[in-house]
Structure 1
Amino acid sequence: MTYKEFKDAVRVKTREKMNIYLGKYRNRKLSNKNVTIISNNCWGGHVYRYLGIEYLSPTIGLYFFADDYVKFCKNLKYYIDQELQFISVDESKHKDNLVERNTICPIGVLDDVEIVFLHYKSQQEALEKWKRRSKRINWNNIVFKFSEQNYCSMKEIIEFDKLPYDRKIMFTTKDYHVKSQILWGGICIKGDIPNDTVLFRKFIDLIKFINGKDCKKRQRYAGKRLKKLNKAEV
Protein backbone atom coordinates (compact mmCIF):
# COMPACT_ATOMS: atom_id res chain seq x y z
CA MET A 1 0.00 0.00 0.00
CA THR A 2 1.35 3.41 -0.99
CA TYR A 3 1.32 6.38 1.37
CA LYS A 4 -1.52 7.97 -0.63
CA GLU A 5 -3.58 4.79 -0.49
CA PHE A 6 -3.01 4.61 3.26
CA LYS A 7 -4.01 8.25 3.69
CA ASP A 8 -7.13 7.79 1.56
CA ALA A 9 -8.11 4.68 3.54
CA VAL A 10 -7.79 6.57 6.83
CA ARG A 11 -9.80 9.46 5.42
CA VAL A 12 -12.64 7.21 4.31
CA LYS A 13 -12.65 5.22 7.55
CA THR A 14 -12.83 8.42 9.60
CA ARG A 15 -15.64 9.77 7.46
CA GLU A 16 -17.63 6.56 7.76
CA LYS A 17 -17.41 6.75 11.55
CA MET A 18 -18.54 10.37 11.56
CA ASN A 19 -21.43 9.62 9.19
CA ILE A 20 -23.17 7.75 12.00
CA TYR A 21 -23.38 10.95 14.02
CA LEU A 22 -23.52 13.67 11.36
CA GLY A 23 -25.72 12.05 8.72
CA LYS A 24 -28.96 13.00 10.46
CA TYR A 25 -27.89 16.65 10.55
CA ARG A 26 -26.79 16.74 6.92
CA ASN A 27 -30.04 15.29 5.63
CA ARG A 28 -32.02 18.13 7.18
CA LYS A 29 -31.00 20.10 4.09
CA LEU A 30 -32.58 17.52 1.83
CA SER A 31 -35.99 18.12 0.32
CA ASN A 32 -35.65 14.82 -1.53
CA LYS A 33 -34.85 11.96 0.84
CA ASN A 34 -36.58 9.07 -0.92
CA VAL A 35 -34.15 9.01 -3.83
CA THR A 36 -32.77 6.07 -5.77
CA ILE A 37 -29.14 6.52 -6.83
CA ILE A 38 -28.09 4.31 -9.73
CA SER A 39 -24.29 4.39 -9.71
CA ASN A 40 -21.62 2.61 -11.73
CA ASN A 41 -19.67 1.88 -8.54
CA CYS A 42 -19.61 2.36 -4.76
CA TRP A 43 -20.18 6.13 -5.04
CA GLY A 44 -23.89 5.84 -4.36
CA GLY A 45 -23.34 3.98 -1.10
CA HIS A 46 -20.99 6.70 0.12
CA VAL A 47 -23.64 9.32 -0.64
CA TYR A 48 -26.38 7.43 1.20
CA ARG A 49 -24.22 6.98 4.29
CA TYR A 50 -22.92 10.55 4.24
CA LEU A 51 -26.47 11.89 4.17
CA GLY A 52 -27.84 9.34 6.62
CA ILE A 53 -30.60 8.07 4.35
CA GLU A 54 -31.77 4.55 3.52
CA TYR A 55 -30.36 2.58 0.60
CA LEU A 56 -33.07 2.75 -2.07
CA SER A 57 -30.84 1.22 -4.72
CA PRO A 58 -29.24 -2.16 -5.43
CA THR A 59 -26.06 -0.54 -6.82
CA ILE A 60 -24.25 -0.53 -3.47
CA GLY A 61 -20.78 -1.96 -2.84
CA LEU A 62 -20.26 -3.08 -6.43
CA TYR A 63 -19.15 -1.85 -9.82
CA PHE A 64 -19.87 -2.24 -13.52
CA PHE A 65 -17.53 -2.05 -16.45
CA ALA A 66 -18.45 1.03 -18.47
CA ASP A 67 -20.19 -0.68 -21.39
CA ASP A 68 -22.27 -2.85 -19.07
CA TYR A 69 -23.31 0.11 -16.94
CA VAL A 70 -24.55 2.20 -19.85
CA LYS A 71 -26.47 -0.80 -21.17
CA PHE A 72 -27.95 -1.32 -17.69
CA CYS A 73 -29.08 2.32 -17.50
CA LYS A 74 -30.56 2.27 -21.00
CA ASN A 75 -33.03 -0.44 -20.04
CA LEU A 76 -33.06 -0.29 -16.25
CA LYS A 77 -36.48 -1.84 -15.64
CA TYR A 78 -35.71 -4.80 -17.90
CA TYR A 79 -32.42 -5.62 -16.19
CA ILE A 80 -33.82 -5.17 -12.67
CA ASP A 81 -36.52 -7.70 -13.55
CA GLN A 82 -33.95 -10.31 -14.63
CA GLU A 83 -32.94 -13.09 -12.27
CA LEU A 84 -29.44 -12.49 -10.94
CA GLN A 85 -27.12 -15.35 -11.85
CA PHE A 86 -23.45 -15.87 -11.01
CA ILE A 87 -20.43 -16.88 -13.05
CA SER A 88 -16.76 -17.50 -12.41
CA VAL A 89 -14.03 -15.08 -13.40
CA ASP A 90 -13.04 -17.51 -16.16
CA GLU A 91 -16.55 -17.27 -17.63
CA SER A 92 -16.61 -13.48 -17.61
CA LYS A 93 -16.29 -11.44 -20.80
CA HIS A 94 -14.02 -9.20 -18.71
CA LYS A 95 -11.83 -12.12 -17.64
CA ASP A 96 -8.48 -10.55 -18.52
CA ASN A 97 -9.27 -7.34 -16.64
CA LEU A 98 -10.61 -9.20 -13.61
CA VAL A 99 -7.56 -11.46 -13.45
CA GLU A 100 -5.30 -8.42 -13.70
CA ARG A 101 -7.12 -6.96 -10.69
CA ASN A 102 -6.91 -10.24 -8.73
CA THR A 103 -10.69 -10.30 -8.43
CA ILE A 104 -11.99 -12.86 -5.93
CA CYS A 105 -15.49 -11.49 -5.27
CA PRO A 106 -18.83 -12.71 -6.71
CA ILE A 107 -19.51 -11.88 -10.37
CA GLY A 108 -23.19 -11.44 -11.13
CA VAL A 109 -24.99 -11.51 -14.47
CA LEU A 110 -28.31 -9.97 -15.51
CA ASP A 111 -28.88 -11.29 -19.03
CA ASP A 112 -25.85 -9.80 -20.86
CA VAL A 113 -24.79 -7.32 -18.15
CA GLU A 114 -22.10 -8.28 -15.64
CA ILE A 115 -21.77 -6.85 -12.13
CA VAL A 116 -18.69 -7.12 -9.93
CA PHE A 117 -19.86 -7.43 -6.30
CA LEU A 118 -16.62 -6.03 -4.93
CA HIS A 119 -17.56 -5.73 -1.26
CA TYR A 120 -19.52 -8.97 -0.87
CA LYS A 121 -18.19 -12.13 0.73
CA SER A 122 -20.48 -14.61 -0.99
CA GLN A 123 -22.94 -15.07 -3.83
CA GLN A 124 -25.71 -15.58 -1.29
CA GLU A 125 -25.04 -12.22 0.36
CA ALA A 126 -24.89 -10.49 -3.02
CA LEU A 127 -28.15 -12.10 -4.17
CA GLU A 128 -30.07 -11.36 -0.97
CA LYS A 129 -29.04 -7.71 -0.84
CA TRP A 130 -29.58 -7.19 -4.56
CA LYS A 131 -33.13 -8.54 -4.34
CA ARG A 132 -33.96 -6.65 -1.15
CA ARG A 133 -32.64 -3.32 -2.38
CA SER A 134 -34.11 -3.69 -5.87
CA LYS A 135 -37.56 -3.82 -4.29
CA ARG A 136 -36.90 -0.43 -2.69
CA ILE A 137 -36.26 1.42 -5.96
CA ASN A 138 -38.30 4.60 -6.17
CA TRP A 139 -39.13 4.55 -9.87
CA ASN A 140 -40.46 8.10 -9.70
CA ASN A 141 -37.31 9.53 -8.17
CA ILE A 142 -34.06 8.24 -9.72
CA VAL A 143 -30.70 9.93 -10.26
CA PHE A 144 -27.89 8.42 -12.31
CA LYS A 145 -24.15 8.78 -11.77
CA PHE A 146 -21.37 7.60 -14.08
CA SER A 147 -17.58 8.06 -14.08
CA GLU A 148 -14.95 7.78 -16.76
CA GLN A 149 -13.40 4.57 -15.48
CA ASN A 150 -13.42 0.80 -15.91
CA TYR A 151 -12.56 0.88 -19.61
CA CYS A 152 -14.80 3.78 -20.52
CA SER A 153 -14.54 5.01 -24.11
CA MET A 154 -15.99 7.97 -25.96
CA LYS A 155 -18.81 5.66 -27.05
CA GLU A 156 -20.01 5.18 -23.45
CA ILE A 157 -19.60 8.88 -22.66
CA ILE A 158 -21.81 9.89 -25.58
CA GLU A 159 -24.36 7.15 -24.96
CA PHE A 160 -24.68 8.00 -21.27
CA ASP A 161 -25.10 11.69 -22.05
CA LYS A 162 -27.90 10.85 -24.49
CA LEU A 163 -29.88 8.79 -21.99
CA PRO A 164 -33.41 10.22 -21.62
CA TYR A 165 -32.98 11.09 -17.96
CA ASP A 166 -32.79 14.68 -16.73
CA ARG A 167 -31.08 13.90 -13.45
CA LYS A 168 -27.73 12.39 -14.35
CA ILE A 169 -24.09 13.33 -13.86
CA MET A 170 -20.86 11.96 -15.28
CA PHE A 171 -17.41 12.62 -13.83
CA THR A 172 -14.90 13.02 -16.67
CA THR A 173 -11.15 13.48 -16.99
CA LYS A 174 -11.49 16.25 -19.57
CA ASP A 175 -14.02 18.55 -21.18
CA TYR A 176 -15.98 16.53 -23.73
CA HIS A 177 -18.60 19.26 -24.20
CA VAL A 178 -21.44 17.03 -23.09
CA LYS A 179 -24.28 18.24 -20.91
CA SER A 180 -24.03 15.77 -18.03
CA GLN A 181 -20.26 15.99 -17.49
CA ILE A 182 -18.62 17.21 -14.31
CA LEU A 183 -14.86 17.67 -14.53
CA TRP A 184 -13.03 15.49 -12.05
CA GLY A 185 -10.30 17.52 -10.37
CA GLY A 186 -8.78 14.56 -8.58
CA ILE A 187 -6.05 12.22 -9.77
CA CYS A 188 -6.53 10.68 -13.21
CA ILE A 189 -4.43 7.85 -14.62
CA LYS A 190 -4.18 7.57 -18.40
CA GLY A 191 -7.60 9.09 -18.99
CA ASP A 192 -9.21 7.07 -16.20
CA ILE A 193 -10.59 8.08 -12.80
CA PRO A 194 -9.12 5.39 -10.53
CA ASN A 195 -11.16 6.30 -7.45
CA ASP A 196 -14.09 8.68 -7.13
CA THR A 197 -15.22 7.64 -3.65
CA VAL A 198 -12.56 9.33 -1.52
CA LEU A 199 -13.38 12.78 -2.92
CA PHE A 200 -16.93 11.77 -3.82
CA ARG A 201 -18.50 15.20 -3.14
CA LYS A 202 -15.59 17.56 -3.73
CA PHE A 203 -16.50 18.71 -7.24
CA ILE A 204 -20.27 18.95 -6.94
CA ASP A 205 -22.82 20.40 -4.57
CA LEU A 206 -24.14 17.07 -3.33
CA ILE A 207 -27.24 18.46 -1.62
CA LYS A 208 -28.29 20.32 -4.76
CA PHE A 209 -27.73 17.22 -6.89
CA ILE A 210 -29.95 15.06 -4.70
CA ASN A 211 -32.54 17.85 -4.50
CA GLY A 212 -32.64 18.05 -8.30
CA LYS A 213 -30.88 21.41 -8.71
CA ASP A 214 -27.79 22.54 -10.60
CA CYS A 215 -24.83 21.03 -8.77
CA LYS A 216 -21.87 22.12 -10.94
CA LYS A 217 -20.48 24.76 -8.65
CA ARG A 218 -16.78 23.89 -8.60
CA GLN A 219 -15.97 23.43 -12.26
CA ARG A 220 -13.52 26.30 -12.56
CA TYR A 221 -11.49 24.92 -9.65
CA ALA A 222 -11.75 21.38 -10.97
CA GLY A 223 -10.64 22.45 -14.44
CA LYS A 224 -7.53 24.22 -13.13
CA ARG A 225 -6.62 21.32 -10.87
CA LEU A 226 -7.22 18.83 -13.66
CA LYS A 227 -4.85 20.66 -16.01
CA LYS A 228 -2.19 20.70 -13.32
CA LEU A 229 -2.60 17.00 -12.58
CA ASN A 230 -2.69 16.03 -16.25
CA LYS A 231 0.73 17.59 -16.80
CA ALA A 232 2.13 15.06 -14.35
CA GLU A 233 -0.26 12.22 -15.20
CA VAL A 234 0.98 8.89 -13.95
Structure 2
Amino acid sequence: MKLINSCSRRALKWRFSRKLRNSDRCYISQNCLGGRFYELEGRRYTSPTVGLWFRSSDFIEFCRNLDENLRAKISFDSAETERLGYPVGRLKEIRIYFQHYSSFDAAVAAWRKRAARVSLKNVLIVMTDRDGFSAEIASEFDKLNYPRKILFSHDPAAMGPNTIYIPGYEGDGCVGDLYGAYHKLNAASVWPQLFKILAS
Protein backbone atom coordinates (compact mmCIF):
# COMPACT_ATOMS: atom_id res chain seq x y z
CA MET A 1 0.00 0.00 0.00
CA LYS A 2 2.84 2.41 0.85
CA LEU A 3 4.43 1.73 -2.54
CA ILE A 4 1.12 2.37 -4.32
CA ASN A 5 0.63 5.64 -2.44
CA SER A 6 4.21 6.70 -3.18
CA CYS A 7 3.74 6.05 -6.90
CA SER A 8 0.46 7.94 -6.83
CA ARG A 9 2.14 10.92 -5.17
CA ARG A 10 4.87 11.00 -7.80
CA ALA A 11 2.28 10.77 -10.58
CA LEU A 12 0.28 13.60 -9.04
CA LYS A 13 3.36 15.81 -8.74
CA TRP A 14 4.15 15.13 -12.38
CA ARG A 15 0.61 16.09 -13.37
CA PHE A 16 0.72 19.32 -11.39
CA SER A 17 4.18 20.34 -12.59
CA ARG A 18 3.46 19.46 -16.22
CA LYS A 19 -0.12 20.63 -16.61
CA LEU A 20 -0.19 23.54 -14.16
CA ARG A 21 3.39 24.80 -14.07
CA ASN A 22 2.52 28.18 -15.57
CA SER A 23 -0.22 28.73 -13.04
CA ASP A 24 -0.96 32.13 -11.57
CA ARG A 25 -3.62 30.83 -9.19
CA CYS A 26 -3.72 32.21 -5.68
CA TYR A 27 -4.92 29.47 -3.32
CA ILE A 28 -6.96 30.84 -0.44
CA SER A 29 -7.31 27.69 1.62
CA GLN A 30 -9.10 26.73 4.82
CA ASN A 31 -6.12 24.61 5.84
CA CYS A 32 -2.69 23.37 4.74
CA LEU A 33 -3.97 21.79 1.51
CA GLY A 34 -3.46 25.01 -0.45
CA GLY A 35 0.19 24.90 0.55
CA ARG A 36 0.43 21.38 -0.87
CA PHE A 37 -0.85 22.67 -4.23
CA TYR A 38 1.91 25.29 -4.33
CA GLU A 39 4.48 22.60 -3.51
CA LEU A 40 3.19 20.28 -6.23
CA GLU A 41 3.37 23.11 -8.77
CA GLY A 42 6.82 24.16 -7.58
CA ARG A 43 5.76 27.77 -6.98
CA ARG A 44 6.36 30.23 -4.17
CA TYR A 45 3.41 30.98 -1.90
CA THR A 46 1.20 33.78 -3.20
CA SER A 47 -1.26 33.41 -0.35
CA PRO A 48 -0.97 33.78 3.44
CA THR A 49 -3.18 30.76 4.15
CA VAL A 50 -0.26 28.34 4.46
CA GLY A 51 0.68 26.31 7.56
CA LEU A 52 -2.55 27.23 9.33
CA TRP A 53 -6.24 26.47 9.50
CA PHE A 54 -9.64 28.08 10.11
CA ARG A 55 -12.85 26.72 11.50
CA SER A 56 -15.38 26.45 8.67
CA SER A 57 -17.59 29.36 9.72
CA ASP A 58 -14.57 31.63 10.21
CA PHE A 59 -13.18 30.69 6.81
CA ILE A 60 -16.46 31.62 5.12
CA GLU A 61 -16.41 34.97 6.92
CA PHE A 62 -12.78 35.50 5.94
CA CYS A 63 -13.57 34.87 2.26
CA ARG A 64 -16.66 37.09 2.23
CA ASN A 65 -14.51 40.19 2.73
CA LEU A 66 -11.17 38.89 1.50
CA ASP A 67 -9.63 42.15 0.34
CA GLU A 68 -10.42 43.92 3.61
CA ASN A 69 -9.43 40.94 5.77
CA LEU A 70 -6.06 40.56 4.08
CA ARG A 71 -5.24 44.13 5.13
CA ALA A 72 -6.68 43.92 8.64
CA LYS A 73 -4.57 43.69 11.79
CA ILE A 74 -4.17 40.29 13.44
CA SER A 75 -4.18 40.32 17.23
CA PHE A 76 -2.81 37.68 19.59
CA ASP A 77 -5.31 35.28 21.17
CA SER A 78 -3.48 34.35 24.35
CA ALA A 79 -6.19 32.10 25.79
CA GLU A 80 -6.46 29.91 22.67
CA THR A 81 -2.69 29.86 22.27
CA GLU A 82 -2.24 28.63 25.83
CA ARG A 83 -4.99 26.03 25.41
CA LEU A 84 -3.62 24.59 22.15
CA GLY A 85 0.11 25.10 22.56
CA TYR A 86 0.66 26.87 19.25
CA PRO A 87 0.00 30.46 18.08
CA VAL A 88 -3.58 31.59 17.51
CA GLY A 89 -4.52 34.99 16.17
CA ARG A 90 -7.73 36.94 15.79
CA LEU A 91 -8.65 38.94 12.74
CA LYS A 92 -11.68 40.83 14.05
CA GLU A 93 -13.82 37.89 15.26
CA ILE A 94 -12.11 35.36 12.99
CA ARG A 95 -9.66 32.97 14.65
CA ILE A 96 -6.60 31.86 12.68
CA TYR A 97 -4.85 28.75 13.98
CA PHE A 98 -1.16 29.07 13.09
CA GLN A 99 -0.48 25.43 13.86
CA HIS A 100 2.82 25.09 12.01
CA TYR A 101 4.52 28.28 13.22
CA SER A 102 6.96 28.55 16.09
CA SER A 103 5.68 31.91 17.35
CA PHE A 104 2.91 34.43 16.80
CA ASP A 105 5.40 37.03 15.52
CA ALA A 106 6.77 34.61 12.92
CA ALA A 107 3.25 33.71 11.82
CA VAL A 108 2.18 37.33 11.40
CA ALA A 109 5.39 38.23 9.53
CA ALA A 110 4.81 35.36 7.07
CA TRP A 111 1.13 36.32 6.75
CA ARG A 112 1.92 39.94 5.87
CA LYS A 113 4.61 39.02 3.35
CA ARG A 114 2.36 36.55 1.54
CA ALA A 115 -0.80 38.64 1.80
CA ALA A 116 1.00 41.33 -0.21
CA ARG A 117 1.36 38.80 -3.07
CA VAL A 118 -2.35 37.99 -3.35
CA SER A 119 -3.90 38.64 -6.74
CA LEU A 120 -7.64 38.91 -6.14
CA LYS A 121 -8.44 38.27 -9.80
CA ASN A 122 -6.64 34.88 -9.62
CA VAL A 123 -8.09 33.61 -6.34
CA LEU A 124 -9.18 30.00 -6.03
CA ILE A 125 -10.97 29.13 -2.78
CA VAL A 126 -10.11 25.71 -1.29
CA MET A 127 -12.28 24.26 1.47
CA THR A 128 -12.85 20.86 3.10
CA ASP A 129 -15.91 19.53 4.93
CA ARG A 130 -14.24 19.45 8.37
CA ASP A 131 -13.69 21.66 11.42
CA GLY A 132 -17.29 22.62 12.03
CA PHE A 133 -18.65 22.05 8.54
CA SER A 134 -22.44 21.77 8.17
CA ALA A 135 -25.22 21.98 5.60
CA GLU A 136 -25.53 25.67 6.41
CA ILE A 137 -21.82 26.20 5.76
CA ALA A 138 -22.17 24.33 2.44
CA SER A 139 -24.91 26.76 1.44
CA GLU A 140 -22.74 29.75 2.41
CA PHE A 141 -19.83 28.29 0.45
CA ASP A 142 -22.01 28.08 -2.66
CA LYS A 143 -22.88 31.77 -2.22
CA LEU A 144 -19.26 32.95 -2.11
CA ASN A 145 -18.75 35.22 -5.10
CA TYR A 146 -15.68 33.63 -6.68
CA PRO A 147 -15.61 32.01 -10.12
CA ARG A 148 -13.18 29.33 -8.97
CA LYS A 149 -13.62 27.36 -5.77
CA ILE A 150 -13.35 23.77 -4.55
CA LEU A 151 -15.05 21.96 -1.69
CA PHE A 152 -13.62 18.53 -0.90
CA SER A 153 -16.30 16.26 0.59
CA HIS A 154 -16.47 12.83 2.20
CA ASP A 155 -20.09 12.46 1.03
CA PRO A 156 -20.65 10.65 -2.30
CA ALA A 157 -24.07 12.32 -2.50
CA ALA A 158 -22.65 15.84 -2.19
CA MET A 159 -23.76 17.91 -5.14
CA GLY A 160 -22.47 20.94 -6.96
CA PRO A 161 -20.02 21.81 -9.75
CA ASN A 162 -17.46 22.92 -7.17
CA THR A 163 -17.74 19.87 -4.89
CA ILE A 164 -15.28 17.02 -5.25
CA TYR A 165 -15.98 13.72 -3.51
CA ILE A 166 -12.92 12.04 -1.96
CA PRO A 167 -13.45 8.27 -1.52
CA GLY A 168 -12.47 6.51 1.68
CA TYR A 169 -13.90 8.83 4.33
CA GLU A 170 -17.58 7.91 4.11
CA GLY A 171 -17.78 6.74 7.74
CA ASP A 172 -15.68 9.54 9.19
CA GLY A 173 -18.09 12.44 8.85
CA CYS A 174 -15.51 14.53 6.97
CA VAL A 175 -12.47 14.17 4.75
CA GLY A 176 -9.19 13.44 6.48
CA ASP A 177 -5.86 15.23 6.32
CA LEU A 178 -5.54 15.71 2.57
CA TYR A 179 -2.21 17.49 2.97
CA GLY A 180 -0.72 14.22 4.18
CA ALA A 181 -2.97 11.93 2.11
CA TYR A 182 -2.68 13.95 -1.07
CA HIS A 183 -2.23 10.79 -3.14
CA LYS A 184 -6.03 10.52 -2.91
CA LEU A 185 -6.28 13.50 -5.26
CA ASN A 186 -4.77 11.35 -7.99
CA ALA A 187 -7.69 8.90 -7.97
CA ALA A 188 -9.45 8.35 -11.30
CA SER A 189 -12.68 9.66 -9.76
CA VAL A 190 -11.00 12.84 -8.46
CA TRP A 191 -8.26 14.13 -10.76
CA PRO A 192 -10.33 14.94 -13.91
CA GLN A 193 -12.75 17.17 -11.98
CA LEU A 194 -9.94 18.68 -9.89
CA PHE A 195 -7.88 19.50 -12.98
CA LYS A 196 -10.91 21.00 -14.72
CA ILE A 197 -11.37 23.47 -11.85
CA LEU A 198 -7.68 24.19 -11.38
CA ALA A 199 -7.14 24.81 -15.08
CA SER A 200 -10.20 27.03 -15.52
- TM-score, length basis structure 1: 0.71
How do 1:49-60 and structure 2 match up within 5 A?
A: 49-60=39-50
Q: Could you tell me how far 1:207 is from its partner in structure 2? A: 4.3
- Structure 1 residues 69 and 40, CA, compared in 2 at 3 Å: closer, same or farther? same
Show CA shifts across 1:93-116 (max 9, x none): xxxxx95xxx21100111111110
**1:159 aligned to 2:140?**
yes
Structure 2 residue aligned with 1:68: 58
Which of 86, 111, 118 aligns to 1:105? It is 86
Which of 186, 191, 199 aligns to 1:204? It is 191
2:106 counterpart SS class: helix
Structure 2 residue aligned with 1:138: 119
Q: Could you tell me how far 1:209 is from its partner in structure 2? A: 3.1
The structure with the largest alpha-carbon Rg is 1
Any stretches of 5+ residues in structure 1 without a counterpart? 93-97, 213-234
Q: Could you tell me how far 1:189 is from its partner in structure 2? A: 5.1
Q: Could you tell me how far 1:27 is from its partner in structure 2? A: 2.8
Alignment check: 8 A CA contact 1:83 1:110 kept: yes
Which of 184, 187, 192 aligns to 2:174? It is 192
Structure 1 residue aligned with 2:160: 178
Alpha-carbon distance between aligned partners in 1 of 2:14 and 2:166, rounded to the nearest angstrom: 28
AA at the equivalent of 2:175? I
- The size of the alignment, in residue pairs, is 189
Alpha-carbon distance between aligned partners in 1 of 2:93 and 2:46, rounded to the nearest angstrom: 24
Q: Could you tell me how far 1:26 is from its partner in structure 2? A: 4.5
Alignment check: 8 A CA contact 2:54 2:95 kept: yes
- TM-score, length basis structure 2: 0.83
AA at the equivalent of 1:144? I
- Structure 1 residues 176 and 25, CA, compared in 2 at 3 Å: closer, same or farther? closer
Show CA shifts across 1:169-198 (max 9, x none): 101121233332111213355412231223
Structure 1 residue aligned with 2:30: 40
Show CA shifts across 1:67-100 (max 9, x none): 1011111111121111111112x358xxxxx95x
Alpha-carbon distance between aligned partners in 1 of 2:118 and 2:127, rounded to the nearest angstrom: 18
- Structure 1 residues 55 and 83, CA, compared in 2 at 3 Å: closer, same or farther? same
Alpha-carbon distance between aligned partners in 1 of 2:72 and 2:29, rounded to the nearest angstrom: 18
Q: Could you tell me how far 1:25 is from its partner in structure 2? A: 8.5
Consecutive aligned runs of 4 or more in structure 1 exceeding 4 Å deviation: 22-26
Q: Could you tell me how far 1:33 is from its partner in structure 2? A: 1.7
- Structure 1 residues 59 and 188, CA, compared in 2 at 3 Å: closer, same or farther? farther
Structure 2 residue aligned with 1:168: 149
Structure 2 residue aligned with 1:119: 100
- Structure 1 residues 61 and 91, CA, compared in 2 at 3 Å: closer, same or farther? closer
Q: Could you tell me how far 1:139 is from its partner in structure 2? A: 1.4
Same amino acid, percent of matched pairs: 31
Any stretches of 5+ residues in structure 2 without a counterpart? none
Alpha-carbon distance between aligned partners in 1 of 2:136 and 2:60, rounded to the nearest angstrom: 10
AA at the equivalent of 1:155? E
Alpha-carbon distance between aligned partners in 2 of 1:143 and 1:186, rounded to the nearest angstrom: 25
